[in-house]
Each structure stands twice: as structure tokens, then as C-alpha cells.
């Protein structure tokens, strides 16, 4: 075969993969790693990852599991011990009753979200996604041949999905509504009354299922409390899937343990797909997660208090930055400030800032501070700033941002 007859790699790829983007947050992390490898001093406000170590009892549980030989395949849906620990956790933390056969464990919450979409979407099915959104939702819908229906919130409504917006977005083709509280990237936390109002809309549309992403549930501030949407609207339990995991609350991002809780038929379908793809979750990480969900909950409580202080620190410091309008998030570990007043300004070198992407580039190149533009989360011109980093990094990064903003013309 001649070289001319070999198809280009791009032509060989499926239309599904060419229709989506790589994760902007992971691309930002790769850029930070590259710049640091080149010797640049970069403060990283991009990554949504706790800077805290995994609590020692969880690590000890993993070591004990390895020494006991718990290093083989497990069931595709996870070990009985872990699924039972999740059942106990849902009852203890969320007031929800599930059986172990209504739980499936995967390699992170993202894995369960993807597989849930894969086993339910047919070409053209619609998924309502509220913007600002976690940036992977739309692309996971697209790669499974669904249609993301983006409903954009406003800052005046704390970026929350309103019942009237939800009602207007539902069609005969709507399959899922994805809800995320506490929210990434805005830090918005829905109240029980707000969730009930959304539930009243969904009650009129029994063909719409709810995917409730609650991965940041441990991090709520200012006296707020996390309410699972399924607890607020229990009549929807039979057409809902809770997504959660160990990554954020227990500082276990690299352990890759997430789970879904939902109706048996859906859980069985996800389990079937896992059996044909990743086989099962990591056995040792599952043993560690039993200790996380079933052991002392002091570590996530302490982390929540720490992040609340860091949220306040970042807001206070950036109040001095001209053109950054920053508020106070109610949860997660992100600020989502508006940078509209920086659009149209010029850098000291004379470059015009036309988008929030231009602002991100300016901050990275000229201030040595890596951030993420709000436009990749569906709403601009905003920035997502992670305060899941040390007080020292927050102080120095904010100092640099203040200098960089005040240098604009």
C-alpha cells in the first residue's frame, strides 16, 4: 500500500470524537506544568483539586487492603462493603434510603455521568444543562449523540436555574436535566424551597429524569446547608440519579472513586457497560473509600472550614483589583468574578483585551497567575478562580493580579 492510499488519522476518527473538545481545565493544568518545567514561577488558580492530603485513616485502610490481598477484580458495580457504606452515607448525610443494588461504583463521578448518558441517550435526545456549567457536561452529551440544551442563568439570580426557564426548555425530546449543587464554577447552593420549585415543574413532565451532581456537598459556607435535590423532591426518586464520590470531600481525586444511586434498571445498565469497558473500579481504592464514607467525618468538616476562610481571603484581597467584581460563593471552592470592566483595556505592551480568554492569557504571561475563562463554562466575561490552594499562594497570586489589573490602560 502506498503512503498516498493511507487515510489521514483525522479522517479515520469517528464524528463523535471530533465533535468534542479536550477538557479546558486539564489543558490549563498541562500548561501550568509546562511553564513550571520551563522555569516559570506560576501561581495556579485553575485546578479543581483539594491541596490537602488524603486523611491518614483512609490511606491506612488502603495499605491494610493491599496487605490482605484485596488486589483482585471486584464486581463490576463495586464491592458489597463499599456499596453498603454508600447506602449508610446517603441515609446519614442526605436523609435518603437506597438499597445496595441501587448503587454503582465507578472510576470517579465523571465515569458514572458518562456511562449514565451512554446507556440512556439515543441520537437527538436532549439534555438540559444550566450555564454556568461544569465544562464536561455538554461534551459528554455530544459524544453520546445527544443534544445539550443550554439554559443560561444570570448573576442577578445567583446563576440559578429558575422554574420558568426550566419549563421553557423542556420538549418532547428532553431526557435529562443535570443539576449541580453546590455548583462548579459559581459556588451557588440551591435551597430546599428552590429545589422544590424546580421539582414542581418536573412533576408535570414525567419523561424527564434528573441527574444530581453533588460532588461538592461537603463544602457549603455562610450557614448554608447542602440539600440533595432528591431529598427536596422525593417523588422524583424513581427517575433520578445521584452522582457523588470521594474526590473532593476526602481529598481523593487520584483514587478515582465515584458512585451513582438510582433505580435498579438504570444501575444495572450502567453496570453492564462497566463490565464491558473498565471491568470494575480499583479494588484498593474501594477499600479506602469504605473508610472515607464509613469512618469519621471530621476531615471534610475541617476542610469546609478551611475553604470558607480561603474564599473570604481571596475576596478581600481581590477587592483591590480594578476591574474584577468579586462576590462570595456559598459553596464548592471557586470564585466566579465578573471581569467585564477589563474588556476593552490595553496591556502595558498595548495589546487589546477583547475576551475573557485574552484576560486569562494576560494574567498567565504577565502576572504568572493561571486562571480559567468563564466562557468555557458557558458564560463570559468571567473567570473561575480556585481557592483550593494554600493561603500563601492565594496571597501572592492575588497580589500579582491586583498589580496586573492596575497596570492596564
Q: Give the model confidence (pLDDT) of 257-312 as tens digits.
A: 999 999 999 999 999 999 999 999 999 999 999 999 999 999 999 999 999 999 99
Q: Check whether 192 has a pLDDT greater than 70.
A: yes
Q: What is the pLDDT of residue 5?
A: 55
Q: 271, 101 in Cβ contact below 8 A?
A: no
pLDDT in tens, 372-394: 999 999 999 999 999 999 999 99
Q: What is the pLDDT of residue 26?
A: 77
Q: Check whether 3 has a pLDDT greater than 80.
A: no
Position 7 confidence tier, pLDDT thresholds 50, 70, 90: low
Neighbours of 24 (CB within 10 A): 18
Q: Where in the chain is the domain with CATH 3.90.1150.10?
A: 3-52+299-406
Q: Report, as an integer, the average pLDDT of 343-349.
A: 97
Q: What is the pLDDT of residue 39?
A: 86
Q: Check whether 1 has a pLDDT greater than 60.
A: no
Q: Report, as an integer, the average pLDDT of 228-255.
A: 98
Q: Where in the chain is the domain with CATH 3.40.640.10?
A: 71-295
Q: What is the pLDDT of residue 4?
A: 56
Q: What is the pLDDT of residue 18?
A: 87
CA-to-CA distance for 84 and 88, rounded, in angstroms? 6
Residues of the chain above pLDDT 70, percent:
98
CA-to-CA distance for 408 and 388, rounded, in angstroms? 28
pLDDT in tens, 130-181: 999 999 999 999 999 999 999 999 999 999 999 999 999 999 999 999 999 9
Q: What is the pLDDT of residue 245?
A: 98
Q: What is the pLDDT of residue 27?
A: 79
CA-to-CA distance for 62 and 29, rounded, in angstroms? 27
Q: Report, as an integer, the average pLDDT of 201-230.
A: 97
Which CATH code, of 3.30.70.20, 3.90.226.10, 3.40.640.10, 1.10.238.10, is assigned to 71-295?
A: 3.40.640.10
User: Mean pLDDT of all residues in the chain?
Assistant: 95
User: What are the φ and ψ backbone dihedral angles of 253, each rounded to 5 degrees?
Assistant: -55, -45
Q: Report, as an integer, the average pLDDT of 305-327.
A: 97
What CATH number does the domain located at 3-52+299-406 have?
3.90.1150.10
Amino acid at each position: 500500500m502506498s503512503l498516498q492510499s493511507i487515510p489521514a488519522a483525522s479522517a479515520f476518527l469517528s464524528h463523535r470524537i471530533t465533535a468534542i473538545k479536550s477538557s479546558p481545565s486539564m489543558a490549563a493544568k498541562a500548561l501550568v506544568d509546562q511553564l513550571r518545567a520551563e522555569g516559570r514561577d506560576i501561581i495556579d488558580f485553575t485546578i479543581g483539586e483539594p491541596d490537602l492530603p488524603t486523611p491518614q485513616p483512609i490511606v491506612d485502610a488502603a495499605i491494610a487492603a493491599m496487605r490482605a490481598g484485596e488486589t483482585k477484580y471486584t464486581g463490576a458495580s463495586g464491592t458489597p462493603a463499599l456499596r453498603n457504606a454508600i447506602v449508610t452515607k446517603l441515609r446519614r448525610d442526605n436523609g435518603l434510603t437506597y438499597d445496595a443494588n441501587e448503587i454503582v461504583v465507578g472510576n470517579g463521578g465523571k465515569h458514572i455521568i458518562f456511562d449514565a448518558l451512554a446507556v440512556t441517550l439515543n441520537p437527538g435526545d436532549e439534555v438540559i444543562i444550566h450555564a454556568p456549567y461544569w465544562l464536561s457536561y455538554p461534551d459528554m452529551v455530544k459524544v453520546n449523540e445527544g443534544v445539550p440544551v443550554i439554559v443560561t442563568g444570570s448573576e442577578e439570580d445567583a446563576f440559578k436555574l429558575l422554574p420558568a426557564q426550566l419549563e421553557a426548555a423542556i420538549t418532547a425530546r428532553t431526557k435529562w436535566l443535570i443539576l449541580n449543587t453546590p455548583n462548579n464554577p459559581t459556588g451557588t447552593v440551591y435551597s430546599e424551597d428552590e429545589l422544590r420549585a424546580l421539582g414542581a415543574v418536573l412533576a408535570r413532565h414525567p419523561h424527564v429524569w434528573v441527574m444530581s451532581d453533588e460532588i461538592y456537598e461537603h463544602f457549603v459556607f455562610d450557614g448554608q446547608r447542602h440539600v440533595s435535590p432528591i431529598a427536596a423532591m422525593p417523588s422524583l426518586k424513581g427517575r433520578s440519579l445521584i452522582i457523588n464520590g470521594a474526590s473532593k470531600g476526602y481529598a481523593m481525586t487520584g483514587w478515582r472513586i465515584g458512585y451513582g444511586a438510582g433505580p435498579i434498571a438504570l444501575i444495572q445498565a450502567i453496570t453492564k457497560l462497566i463490565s464491558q469497558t473498565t471491568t470494575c473500579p480499583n479494588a484498593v481504592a474501594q477499600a479506602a473509600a469504605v473508610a472515607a464514607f464509613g469512618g469519621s467525618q471530621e476531615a471534610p468538616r475541617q476542610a469546609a472550614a478551611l475553604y470558607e476562610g480561603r474564599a473570604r481571603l481571596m475576596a478581600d484581597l481581590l477587592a483591590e483589583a480594578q476591574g474584577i467584581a468579586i462576590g462570595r460563593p456559598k459553596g464548592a471552592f471557586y470564585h466566579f468574578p465578573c471581569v467585564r470592566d477589563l474588556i476593552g483595556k490595553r496591556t502595558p505592551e498595548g495589546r487589546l483585551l477583547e475576551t475573557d480568554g485574552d484576560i486569562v492569557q494576560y494574567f498567565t504571561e504577565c502576572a504568572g497567575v493561571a486562571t480559567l475563562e468563564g466562557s468555557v463554562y458557558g458564560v463570559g466575561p468571567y473567570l473561575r478562580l480556585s481557592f483550593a490552594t494554600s493561603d500563601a499562594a492565594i496571597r501572592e497570586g492575588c497580589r500579582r493580579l491586583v498589580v496586573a489589573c492596575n497596570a492596564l490602560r
